[in-house]
C-alpha cells in the first residue's frame, strides 16, 4: 500500500517523553522559590508545548517583570535536576524506529529550547531517527504554524503529505493553521475531551493505538 504521508512530525514533551508532571511541578516549584502564587495543576499543564517565556507568562501572569529572569532560572534548576531520568512513553522508541525504517521522513516540533532538545535526543538515543527539528527559541512558538512550514520546506514535503502528532491543543491548532493533518495522543498534558473538541484526524490513547493507526492509515 502506498504511503499517505511523506513527513511525520512529533511534538516531544507529553507526546514522545512522559515529562508532563515534571514540567508542571518545576513551574510550581519555581514559584514557591520566589514567593509567587503557584498555578494549579491544570494551568501548569496547559502551557506545556509553548516556548518557556510564553508558558511562564501564561502560568504566572502576576510575576513582576523584574522577577522573570529569576523565574526562568528557578524553573530550569528544578527541571534539569530531573531531566535525565524522564522516561519515554512505552512504545515510543519502537514506533519511531518502525516509521524511520519504513522510509518516512521524521521531524520534531517542540516548545523546548534547542539546547534542551539536543540534550534529550542524545540521552534518549533517538537522535538518529529524526531528519530535522525545530524548537521554540528558533522560530515562532505554537500554535503559530512556522515550525511546520520550516520543516516541510527543509524536507521537501507538502502540507497534504505531512502529519503532526501531539498531545496538546497547541499542537492541534498549529497543525490546523498549517493545513496539516494531525493525530492527537491522550496520554499527555491536555485532557482527551479538550483535544477531541478541536476535531483532530484521530485521537489515540497511547503508542500502541498510534502504531496501529499508522499501520492502517499512514
Quick: pLDDT tens for 13-72.
999 999 999 999 999 999 999 999 999 999 999 999 999 999 999 999 999 999 999 999
Whether residue 103 is found in the same domain as residue 67 = no
Confidence of residue 110 (pLDDT cuts 50, 70, 90): very high
Confidence of residue 105 (pLDDT cuts 50, 70, 90): very high
Residue 20 DSSP SS3: helix
Angle at 203 between CA 55 and CA 210, to 5 degrees: 100
Whether residue 160 is found in the same domain as residue 66 = no
* Domain boundary, last residue among 84, 111, 128: 84
* Gap between the Cα atoms of 100 and 202, Å rounded: 21
Sheet holding 162-166, edge to edge: 132-135, 105-110, 7-10, 162-166, 181-185, 202-204
Strand locations in the chain (E): 7-10, 105-110, 132-135, 162-166, 181-185, 202-204
DSSP state, residue 103: T
List the beta bridge partners of residue 204. Answer: 185
Rounded to two decimals, what is the model's pTM? 0.94
Structure confidence at residue 83 (pLDDT): 86
Task: Please say if the pLDDT value at position 182 is more than 60.
Answer: yes
Catalytic residues: 11, 13
Segment holding 104, helix H or strand E:
none
Whether residue 203 is found in the same domain as residue 155 = yes
Instruction: For residue 48, give the CATH number of its domain.
Output: 1.10.150
Whether residue 104 is found in the same domain as residue 186 = yes
* Gap between the Cα atoms of 112 and 145, Å rounded: 16
* Gap between the Cα atoms of 130 and 168, Å rounded: 21
Range of the domain at 77: 20-84
DSSP state, residue 163: E
Confidence of residue 75 (pLDDT cuts 50, 70, 90): very high
* Gap between the Cα atoms of 137 and 114, Å rounded: 7
Structure confidence at residue 84 (pLDDT): 85
Task: Please say if the pLDDT value at position 1 is more than 60.
Answer: no
Residue 87 grid cell: 522516561
* Gap between the Cα atoms of 149 and 206, Å rounded: 27
Amino acid at each position: 500500500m502506498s504511503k499517505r504521508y511523506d513527513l511525520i512530525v512529533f511534538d516531544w514533551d507529553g507526546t514522545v517523553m512522559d515529562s508532563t508532571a515534571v514540567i508542571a511541578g518545576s513551574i510550581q516549584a519555581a514559584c514557591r522559590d520566589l514567593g509567587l502564587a503557584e498555578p494549579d495543576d491544570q494551568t501548569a499543564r496547559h502551557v506545556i508545548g509553548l516556548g518557556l517565556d510564553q508558558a511562564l507568562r501564561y502560568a504566572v501572569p502576576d510575576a513582576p517583570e523584574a522577577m522573570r529572569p529569576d523565574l526562568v532560572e528557578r524553573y530550569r534548576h528544578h527541571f534539569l535536576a530531573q531531566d535525565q531520568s524522564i522516561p519515554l512513553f512505552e512504545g515510543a522508541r519502537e514506533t519511531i524506529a518502525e516509521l524511520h525504517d519504513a522510509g518516512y521522513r521524521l521531524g520534531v516540533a517542540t516548545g523546548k529550547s534547542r539546547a534542551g532538545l539536543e540534550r534529550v535526543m542524545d540521552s534518549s538515543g533517538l537522535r538518529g531517527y529524526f531528519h530535522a527539528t525545530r524548537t521554540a527559541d528558533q522560530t515562532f512558538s505554537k500554535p503559530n504554524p512556522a515550525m511546520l512550514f520550516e520543516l516541510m520546506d527543509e524536507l521537501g514535503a507538502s502540507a497534504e503529505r505531512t502529519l503532526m502528532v501531539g498531545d496538546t491543543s497547541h499542537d492541534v491548532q498549529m497543525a490546523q493553521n498549517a493545513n496539516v493533518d494531525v493525530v492527537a495522543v491522550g496520554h499527555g498534558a491536555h485532557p482527551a475531551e479538550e483535544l477531541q473538541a478541536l476535531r483532530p484526524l484521530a485521537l489515540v490513547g497511547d503508542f500502541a493505538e498510534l502504531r496501529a493507526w499508522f499501520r492502517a492509515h499512514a
